[in-house]
Amino acid sequence: MPVFKTPFNGYSVKFSPFYESRLAVATAQNFGILGNGRLHILDLPPTPSSPFVELASFDTADGVYDVAWSESHDSLLVAAVADGSLKIYDLSLPPTSNPIRSLHEHSREVQSVDYNPVRRDSFISSSWDDSIKLWTLDRPTSIRSFQEHAYCVYAAVWNPRHADVFASASGDCTLRVWDVREPGSTMVVAAHEFEILSCDWNKYDDCVIATASVDKSVRVWDIRTYRTPLAVLNGHGYAVRKVKFSPHNRSFLVSCSYDMTVCAWDYMVEDARIGQYGHHTEFAVGVDMSVLVEGLIASTGWDELVYVWQYGTDPRAP
Amino acid sequence: MDMRDLVTGGAACAVPGSSSSSSNPLAALANTLIGSSSKIQENKEIPTSITPSSERQIYTETNDHLGALDQPFVDPNAPQHSDFLRGFHGSGGGQTELDAAWNDIHPPPPPQLDHIYDTHPHPQQHQPILDGPPQRMLSSLLHSFVDSSRGGVPFHATPLPVLGLSEGDKQCIRNRSSIMARHIFADKSEDFINAQVNALLCSLDIDGDARAKGPLPGRFRELEDYWNESQGTLKPGFHAADGWVAEFNQQRMVHGANGWASEFEQQHGANGWASEFEQSQLTSVDQMRGSNISSLAAMEQTRMLANTLAQNDDPKFQNSKFLQFVSKMSRGELIIDDNQVKQTALPAAGDWASEYQHQYNRSPAWADEFLSHGPDQWVNEFTTERGQHGPVDDQWVNEFSKLHVHDWADEFGRQVGEGALGENSTDNWANAYDEFLNEQVAARQRSDTSRGVYVFSDMNPYVGHPNPLKEGQELFRKGLLSEAVLALEAEVLKNPDNAEGWRLLGIAHAENDDDQQAIAAMLRAQEADSTNLEVLLALGVSHTNELEQAAALKYLYGWLRHHPQYGTLAPPELSDSLYYADVARLFNEAAQMSPDDADVHIVLGVLYNLTREYDKAIESFQTALKLKPHDYSLWNKLGATQANSVHSADAIFAYQQALDLKPNYVRAWANMGISYANQGMYEDSIRYYVRALAMNPKADNAWQYLRISLSCASRDDMLEACDSRNLDVLQKEFPL
């Protein structure tokens, strides 16, 4: 599979929910500590030997930490920018018209953005200002701000089944589950002893959620019995940056870490780690699995490379 | 808000589609009326690269195309949306409030401005902004900061030329590096993280700041409060200095000169002055946070962390860009650039503020030193100094009051310059520890494979020599250690039970910095003569070097037991269960018995090394040196101990003494290199390693140290020569 070199350090990669070969990559200069950002839209080449096709790229004045494809329009993306803004891009418009929106309410870096997969008309962002905000495309301001976490919120992810439910992972070492119809969070799980950097819902069991932490572990939880995790997945050597459940397999998940590897896990078997990929040469910080092609994984990292590969194959294989 | 904003609703809701095809007729009208220049304002972010071929695939260039969103913003009261919105509870109020807000902001407020664009109105300036030469430095500095996580080697503060970072930029760096450091350096102690971040901030001349998002709230609540409090009272730099002077004058007027010092002490307690100074050192705040934990504990933590990292045998980590990067950005490259730029960047002498600022960069070093001494000692020093001036207190105070702020800063600068405040000692610890770890790992590997098995050289020309022992002794005396080793090997091949031959062989290896062979030879010597004092002492020292307390105690106790004079002190039954305290007590007794026996003091020094009581160890060695000033190996021991403690600079003096006495003392050359490396003087350390290796190319440890120093000094170009052990090239490149 081909490799794409980004000029800046990779931060996040997401497959398009509409086109099996399309993906968006969020990048930031100088590891996102200072400098510009760039959002790349890439198409996988028809044959593995040819290079990626870059459809578009958009520059921002600050690093792009995350990106989410719209679930309702194939050409829309939301970028989470380190200056606290969310920017909406429309690929069907000429570059001069983009971004079509800039939503600036977060007072600190926005670390994650997630598009509601059920309602398909709203998205949530989580920020280092400790808050989560709910947005729709047609409103210039956020609909609601969720303010309970005591430290940076590194991820907020919609439940794949329930349109109003989402979970958030924070540096305050808690995982919170929210229902937007409720005034406060409905559940607080002290999921790790250390900062939690990522979380993701199981796509087959709407009560199962995975968390990834600075403590190097990934934990899988059933929120009905949240006192003990269903599984503790050890194997990363440093903080785990992102975790993602497979859209095609109930027990399969992938994670990436500051140990520079991407790991594949089956949390239901004893030797949970079923794959480890060491293709990145710097911190691996972004990983995603395609909804449209089973087993297709994409990853990016601070080595400024984007890899796409089929589970079971070597990401670096030509 | 200008007319365009009123009509079009501002740039934030720029209408999809080109201006002429706008679905908002008002906007079209506005464009007609005011001209289409508005586009430039609206699109502050102009994408730079879209490949022409893909352009068509992505957006269709038709005038009637409506973007994915036909309407800029849909009325929130439209039926298809109200359902959804009703589902949400407003956080601050109900639906009506939202509606009101909506009406208020329709048209919405002007867009949020992007700070980089603000300062650089022309889009084309946007790209180069972070690519100029200083920015490249910034880039590599940040890179090395991030990379430093992997080696566990602390990130070194490196003064950079003025980068022209805006306040916003600085805050970004401050905040983000603090938060990210807690993910990247997750294995490490809070102290370490703070030190890393501070080193970065210092390099960039960024103050620590209360607004920065520090560690999790709660963990350091008390200290944070303390910090915030102190921050309210004192401002950094100029003002602080002013404040002191003012305060001083005030004190002086009120209490008269003599009373000042005591008054001050009354008011602020013994540590008052120190803590006040601490408060003004904004950059050192994070390190000060750590000052609660005793420096020993901090050191212990650093060790544990370094240990964890050293255990990571993943070749990727070992080969990671880390070392290469520390080098790339650091000394070599940057200092050259730095010197050049600094010349121009530095203000004319007399610009006090910048000068202070310049010194200020180094304040963490000061803070570290401060920590390692502990405030009390520092204050003591201060008061002793005062005591010396006792009778002339008036004079001193007058002098002080006459001092300009300028002079004060100069004085401060001079002290820093002289190294009175020392190098960054945290770095030293960690560096020394890294090296120590390497040594340990290597030692462990050795011990696993071939402990105690002596490996003879092939093709020994001295085999068949009529009297190899005499030849060996002669060569050893001349300092031709490698030759001496061969001769002595020939001797012990001939007479395997010659304890003296084995002992000399062991010493030759030890001085040649080859511990594996030294221990093996000494073990054979002990087999041959189990009561030889020198052999027992040498074995005790070797095991101390490897921190094998039990074995070290065994041999050192053996030394005492077999000593004709002190043998009576050592009850034989004790040898079954040796405890450090017992052995140390016995040796102290021995030292009291005959205070003029240098050997006892040497053993005591070794013992204190075992428990890392370096100050006591240094004292013991110094006592021994008074009795035996020409013992080069003793000078080396003193140097090694000083290097292990916080006195790396002193160590260099001790090693120099050893080398003056014995110029071919390979071990001291290598140790000298280590000392320089510990002080961050990698270029110097390289020269010493190369010299040591030129004398004994078999000193594997020294090759490892050399490699590290080459990396740290950005001499990647010489790594190959190092890996291929090409001494000719290295010697030519690094003459001493």
What distance in Å separates residue B721's CA from the closest CA in chain A?
Answer: 25
Closest chain B residue to A72 measured between Cα atoms? B68
* Chain A residues whose beta carbon lies within 8 Å of the beta carbon of residue B217: 150-151
CA B427/CA B468 separation, integer angstroms: 47
pLDDT band at B168 (very low <50, low <70, confident <90, very high): confident
Read off the pLDDT of each residue in B519-526 and give the average, rounded to a whole number. 87
CB contact under 8 A, B172 and A258: no
What distance in Å separates residue A174's CA from the closest CA in chain B?
Answer: 12
pLDDT in tens, B215-271: 554 444 444 445 445 444 433 333 444 444 445 444 444 444 444 444 444 544 444
CB contact under 8 A, B59 and A92: yes
Q: Which of A34, A83, A93 sits opposite B114 (nearest CB)?
A: A83
Kindly report the pTM of this predicted structure: 0.47
* Other CB atoms within 10 A of residue B51 CB: 13
Question: Which of A236-250, B59-73, B705-719 is predicted least confidently?
Answer: B59-73
* pLDDT at residue number B170: 78
Question: Which of A128-137, B281-290, B501-510 is predicted least confidently?
Answer: B281-290
**ipTM of the complex as predicted:** 0.84
Closest chain B residue to A178 measured between Cα atoms? B88
CB contact under 8 A, A237 and B76: no
* A10/B517: higher pLDDT: A10
Please tell me what DSSP assigns to residue A45.
Answer: -
CB contact under 8 A, B68 and A90: yes
Residue with tokens 């800063």: B409
**Please, are residues A141 and B14 in contact by the beta-carbon 8 Å criterion?**
no
CB contact under 8 A, B68 and A121: no
Q: Which conformational region is residue A220 in: left (phi greater than 0), alpha (psi within -120 to 50 degrees), or beta?
A: beta
10 Å CB burial of residue B465 (0-12, 13-18, 19+) is middle
pLDDT band at B183 (very low <50, low <70, confident <90, very high): confident
The yes-or-no verdict on residue B43 having pLDDT over 50 is no
The yes-or-no verdict on residue A285 having pLDDT over 80 is yes
Read off the pLDDT of each residue in B25-31 and give the average, rounded to a whole number. 37
CB contact under 8 A, B186 and A41: no
* Chain A residues whose beta carbon lies within 8 Å of the beta carbon of residue B114: 60-62, 83, 85
Coil, strand, or helix at residue B62? coil
* Other CB atoms within 10 A of residue A23 CB: 26
CA B209/CA B223 separation, integer angstroms: 14
Q: Which of B60, B85, B129 sits opposite A143 (nearest CB)?
A: B85
Q: At B397, list the tokens.
A: 């105070």
Q: Which of A29, A54, A101 sits opposite B130 (nearest CB)?
A: A29
CA B341/CA B350 separation, integer angstroms: 19
Calculate helix-pair angle for B700-712, B666-678, nearest 10 degrees. 30
* Chain A residues whose beta carbon lies within 8 Å of the beta carbon of residue B98: 143
A101-115, B570-584, B585-599: which is most confident: A101-115
* pLDDT at residue number A97: 85
What distance in Å separates residue B169's CA from the closest CA in chain A?
Answer: 7
Q: Which of A30, A61, A76 sits opposite B45 (nearest CB)?
A: A61
CA B186/CA A213 separation, integer angstroms: 10
Q: Kindly state the helix (H) or strand (E) to which residue A306 belongs, with its residue range.
A: strand A305-310
* pLDDT at residue number B136: 59
* Chain A residues whose beta carbon lies within 8 Å of the beta carbon of residue B48: 57, 59
CB contact under 8 A, A56 and B179: no
CA B94/CA B101 separation, integer angstroms: 11
Q: Helix, strand, coil shares of chain B as percentages rounded to 5?
A: 70, 0, 30
Read off the pLDDT of each residue in B643-671 and give the average, rounded to a whole number. 83
The yes-or-no verdict on residue B721 having pLDDT over 70 is yes
* Other CB atoms within 10 A of residue A74 CB: 15
In percent, how much of chain B has pLDDT > 90? 1
pLDDT band at B152 (very low <50, low <70, confident <90, very high): low
Q: How many angstroms separate the Cα of B348 from the Cα of each of A98, B158, B253, B265?
A: 48, 22, 34, 38
CB contact under 8 A, B58 and A241: no
CA A287/CA A19 separation, integer angstroms: 18
Touching check for B122 and chain A: CB below 8 Å? no
Q: Which of B39, B76, B84 sits opposite A119 (nearest CB)?
A: B84
Q: B interface mutation test: which of A16, A18, A30 has the most B CBs within 10 A?
A: A30
CB contact under 8 A, A140 and B87: no
* Interface subset of B 49-68, CB within 8 angstroms of A: 49-51, 54, 57-61, 65, 67-68
CB contact under 8 A, B146 and A146: no
* Chain A residues whose beta carbon lies within 8 Å of the beta carbon of residue B312: 237
Q: Which of B74, B184, B216 sits opposite A138 (nearest CB)?
A: B74
Coil, strand, or helix at residue B620? helix
What distance in Å separates residue B564's CA from the closest CA in chain A?
Answer: 55
Read off the pLDDT of each residue in B584-593 and give the average, rounded to a whole number. 85
CA B535/CA B505 separation, integer angstroms: 11
Calculate helix-pair angle for B632-644, B614-627, nearest 10 degrees. 160
What distance in Å separates residue B232's CA from the closest CA in chain A?
Answer: 24
Q: Which of A91, A140, A145 sits opposite B59 (nearest CB)?
A: A91
CB contact under 8 A, B114 and A141: no
CB contact under 8 A, A144 and B59: no
* Chain B residues whose beta carbon lies within 8 Å of the beta carbon of residue A35: 130, 139
Radius of gyration of the CA atoms of chain A, in A: 18
Closest chain B residue to A70 measured between Cα atoms? B68
Coil, strand, or helix at residue B215? coil
Closest chain B residue to A197 measured between Cα atoms? B183
- Supply the mean pLDDT for chain B: 62
Closest chain B residue to A110 measured between Cα atoms? B176
- Supply the mean pLDDT for chain A: 93
Sheet with A231-233, side-by-side order of all strands: A196-201, A208-213, A218-222, A231-233
CB contact under 8 A, B88 and A181: yes
* pLDDT at residue number A174: 94
Burial of B25-43, coded b for 16+ CB within 10 Å and e otherwise, reads eebbebbeeeeeebbeebb
* Chain B residues whose beta carbon lies within 8 Å of the beta carbon of residue A138: 69, 71, 73-74, 76, 81
Q: At A222, list the tokens.
A: 């059933």
Coil, strand, or helix at residue B262? helix
The yes-or-no verdict on residue A261 having pLDDT over 90 is yes
CB contact under 8 A, B149 and A258: yes
* Chain B residues whose beta carbon lies within 8 Å of the beta carbon of residue A37: none
The yes-or-no verdict on residue B329 having pLDDT over 60 is no
Q: Which conformational region is residue B109 in: left (phi greater than 0), alpha (psi within -120 to 50 degrees), or beta?
A: beta
**Please, are residues A12 and A25 in contact by the beta-carbon 8 Å criterion?**
yes
CA A9/CA A6 separation, integer angstroms: 7
* pLDDT at residue number B69: 54
* A257/B596: higher pLDDT: A257
* B715/A165: higher pLDDT: A165
* pLDDT at residue number A112: 96
* Chain B residues whose beta carbon lies within 8 Å of the beta carbon of residue A82: 172, 176
* pLDDT at residue number B27: 38
| Long-range pairs for B497-503: beta carbons < 8 A, 24 or more residues apart | B497/B528, B498/B469, B498/B528, B499/B525, B499/B526, B499/B528, B499/B529, B499/B532, B499/B535, B500/B469, B500/B525, B501/B469, B501/B472, B501/B525, B502/B528, B502/B535, B503/B532, B503/B534, B503/B535, B503/B538
CA B303/CA B429 separation, integer angstroms: 9
* Chain A residues whose beta carbon lies within 8 Å of the beta carbon of residue B46: 59, 95-96
CB contact under 8 A, B12 and A36: no
* pLDDT at residue number B443: 52
Please tell me what DSSP assigns to residue B19.
Answer: G
Q: Which of B58, B60, B176 sits opposite A109 (nearest CB)?
A: B176
CA A202/CA A244 separation, integer angstroms: 8
Q: At A175, list the tokens.
A: 């995982």
Q: At B566, list the tokens.
A: 């002190």
pLDDT band at A218 (very low <50, low <70, confident <90, very high): very high
Q: Which of A34, A100, A121 sits opposite B16 (nearest CB)?
A: A100
Residue with tokens 């000094």: B713
CB contact under 8 A, A34 and B173: yes
Question: Which of A116-120, B202-206, B681-685 is predicted least confidently?
Answer: B202-206
What distance in Å separates residue A73's CA from the closest CA in chain B?
Answer: 6
pLDDT band at B25 (very low <50, low <70, confident <90, very high): very low
The yes-or-no verdict on residue A82 having pLDDT over 50 is yes
CB contact under 8 A, B12 and A30: no
Q: Which of B68, B81, B321 sits opposite A76 (nearest CB)?
A: B68
